[in-house]
Structure 1
Amino acid sequence: MGIDRRTRTVTLAATAVFALVAVVWWALGRPLGVDSAVYRAGGIAVLRGEPLYEHLSALPTWAPELPFTYPPFAALVFTPLAALPVQWCWALPALAAAPALAAALRPYAPEAGVLLAAFGLQPVWQTIGLGQLNLVLMALVIVDVLRRRGSAGVLIGLAAAIKLVPLIFVGHLLLTGRRADAFRALGTFAGATALGAVLLPADSARYWTSALFNDHFEQMKGWVGNQSWAGFAARTAPGQAWLLAFAALVVVGAAVVVRWRHRAGDDRGALLVTAGCALLVSPISWTHHWVWIAPALGYLLTSGRRWCALLVAAVFTGWTVAVVPGGQGRERDWTAGQALIGNAYLLVAVAAGAVLVTAAVRRRSARATV
């Protein structure tokens, strides 16, 4: 599927709007981009020789006291941001957002209307507002899995070196019989990580031994903004045993469905299953991490499930996490109705997964009977 003229027009228009916002906010000296400010502060810490996983001295005064939670290689990537004003650090991921979203939607639903509607999804607009990289990382994975051949795996390895969660797509490559691509992804990840270890040895040792499991994540795990299964457990029934058991069940079920859809020639659907698995089993899946809902809705639309797509889109506009009490442990006092609404993102993924696993098992049973 190609990108038509109207899709290109929407992409260019959105990019122009984000550029204008950056210019105006910079001219007015207004704060912009909480997470991009953290990226910049991490890059400055590297250049100054300051500890990366302690207080970031270069954080602007208006930004909350957030830690740098990415691997050392990511901090090396962010060092050029030190030369830019904070607003222009926001502008870089914002300017990449529309092209990345268009690239991610291209194998699923390349129409201009779908791209335009995707900006109304909370994970998308929140990613842009924070100055996050989620759309870019998602596009790297989709392009690597669905559109590249010969050198596939490199983009996944780079994405994983910046943010560890994309490592799950190495397993996806193995499940779909692409061993060379999987090894190429692992090699790229290992090379980038080794570069970080060579240039930032102390920070690398700190990251892989303690900073990877930082206190910020532990304190915020039960917040409504964390729509992973670990977040659900922290809000409802804390306990490691059943949490790990469910995670194992999700991984096994996802593997079954990925193999089924791949054998059926549905690599688009198989990739979405792996992405959903990652969002569920990751300890932290902030609402802005759920950008994979955009290609998922495109998949539903092109599969003839328009009403289902509209209902799911309505859930992911952000109202579900806005109408329930959140923060300071108030999630523990939710009523049953509030818990249903406040956990809507992950419950949609669990329900979709259950339907797919059931269909896969029935199909295998039917084939065995035949």
Structure 2
Amino acid sequence: MDRSRGLRADTALIVVGVAAAVLAVVALIRWISDTPLGVDSSVYRAGGFAVVQGESLYSPLRALPEWAPELPFTYPPFAALLFTSLTALPAQLCWGLLALAAAPSLYWALRPFADRAHLPLLLLGAFALQPVWQTIGLGQVNLVLMAAVVVDVLLLRGSRTCGIAIGIVAAVKLIPLIFIAHLLLTRRIADAARALATFLGATAFAMVVLPKDSVRYWTSAIFNDHFAEMKGWVGNQSWQGFAARTLPGGWMATALSAVCAVLAMWLVHRLHRAGDDRAALLVTAGCSLLISPISWTHHWVWVVPALGYLAARGQRGMALVVAALFTGWTVAVVPGGGGAERDWTFAEALIGNAYLGVLVVAGVLLAGRMLVRTAYARSSGCMAD
């Protein structure tokens, strides 16, 4: 029995190693042939160059490769300080560095959620999911950030370092601040305090090193007007994206986000009390995707541990259905861009909002299950009295 488990674990590590090797070869080939690779990783690298060369982070980036679109740097200044390490590498090898981190990140994100028997297959299947292959293709940091949160919340629980990773991740990309609230809801006050202190410390450090960029970020660049016109694009699977496609107006997105936040807090509290901290973490992650102004399809990497959770609970059929919806075809088959989303038929709207729809259905089903459990517990208590 132990030997079988060891073989399965070894198989998962072999998958990680092979995936990393393949991506490394791709990066080397692209570098040697001097062909474009990694749009977002090029922006990270250019942000690092802006710091090194004393240029403004939130003005047009001069160090972008000629083939890269003129995208702005939208992360906090602390992230740019970390990205200065990328300036030592060519653009393609910067992509390769982030790509090498993809498979290990998937492994650590899945470990607390998946049975060892399913782990190798889930790792392989993850590369067919749009949030994963798009994150890798763009050279994004989504997988690394997700793995850091999972390890911090679930694997480092009880450790004196728990919360530090969340603080760093939140200083790199603000949306993970929601996981500090998650720690508070699950009564992990010390961990939440460490996370908040780390976030504030990292942010303060960036203010000392980059005072002008810090002032500009926290007063104007944080609002990220660059993507304002793209909020209604099908690739934005958040409440604000849904509202922009359906009925433009801030009130709709605000109302939906408020309902989502209240329901998520209740679910996290109930799931924690029931001893299901894995599901509680997935609820918080799902809420972050819905209430964020921009949740591009490559941000939805949390579907990977969610599939591991479903498979571990024996709901393999449901896991397969969800996986099929997240391969990218739902975004590809509907009209998108240039405001085409405003003219969707009902069927197109159903397909085009599939990512968001899956999460809403999952939340409703989970809330229903918890209400049934609560009602049963109360009736049992009354009968016992």
In the superposition, the TM-score normalised over structure 1's length comes to: 0.98
Structure 1 residues without counterparts, runs of 5 or longer: none
1:282-314 Cα shifts (integer Å, max 9, x gaps) = 111010000000000010001011110000000
Matches within 5 A, 1:210-359: 210-359=220-369
- Is 1:50 the counterpart of 2:58? The answer is no
Find the counterpart in structure 1 of residue 102 from structure 2.
Answer: 97
Residue aligning to 1:26: 31
Contact 1:158 1:192 in 2 (8 A): yes
2:46 corresponds to: 41
**DSSP 3-state at the match of 1:51:** coil
Residue range with higher mean Cα deviation, 354-363 or 167-176: 354-363
TM-superposed deviation, 1:156 = 0.4
User: Is residue 121 of structure 2 the alignment partner of residue 113 of structure 1?
Assistant: yes
What percentage of aligned pairs have identical amino acids? Answer: 64
Q: Which runs of 5+ in 2 are unaligned?
A: none
> Does the aligned pair in 1 maintain the 2:12–2:120 contact within 8 Å?
yes
C-alpha deviation, 1:242, in angstroms: 2.6
Q: Determine if contact 1:46/1:76 at 8 Å carries over to the other structure.
A: yes
Q: 1:208 aligns with which of 202, 207, 218?
A: 218
- Give the 3-state SS of the residue equivalent to 1:4 in structure 2: helix
Range that drifts further, 127-136 or 254-263: 254-263
User: How far apart in 2 are the matches of 1:96 and 1:242?
Assistant: 38
Post-superposition offset of 1:367: 3.3
Cα distance in 1 for residues equivalent to 2:321 and 2:301: 17
Structure 1 position 265, deviation (Å): 1.1
Deviation per CA, 1:174-219, whole angstroms, max 9, x where unpaired?
1111000001000000000001111111111111111011221212
Counterpart code for 2:133:
W
In the aligned structure 1, how far is the partner of 2:252 from the partner of 2:65? 41
In the alignment, which residue of structure 1 is the partner of 2:196?
186
* Whole-angstrom distance in 1 between the partners of 2:349 and 2:293: 19
Aligned residues: 370
Q: Distance in 1 between matches of 2:284 and 2:335?
A: 31
2:137 matches 1:132: no
Out of 198, 209, 213, the position equivalent to 2:208 is 198
Tell me by how many angstroms 1:363 deviates. Answer: 2.8
Q: Tell me how far 1:357 sits from its aligned partner.
A: 1.6
Q: CA-to-partner distance for each residue in 1:78-104, whole Å, 9 max, x for gaps?
A: 012112100011011100100010010
Write the mapping of 1:161-180 to structure 2, written as runs, cut at 5 A: 161-180=171-190
Query: 1:254 touches 1:357 (CA, 8 Å); kept in 2?
Result: no
Question: Residue 256 of structure 1 contacts residue 360 of structure 1 at CA under 8 Å; is this kept in 2?
Answer: no
Runs of 4+ with deviation above 4 angstroms: none
Q: Distance in 1 between matches of 2:227 and 2:174?
A: 15
Output the CA distance in 2 between the equivalents of 1:325 and 1:212. 30
Q: How far apart are residue 359 of structure 1 and its match? A: 2.2
Preserved contact between residue 106 and residue 147 of structure 2 (Cα < 8 Å): yes
Q: Which letter maps to 2:143?
A: L
Letter of the aligned partner of 1:179 in structure 2? I
Distance 1:190 1:215 in 2: 25
Partner SS, residue 70 of structure 2: coil
**Aligned AA (2:108):** A
CA distance in 2 between partners of 1:207 and 1:361 (Å): 43
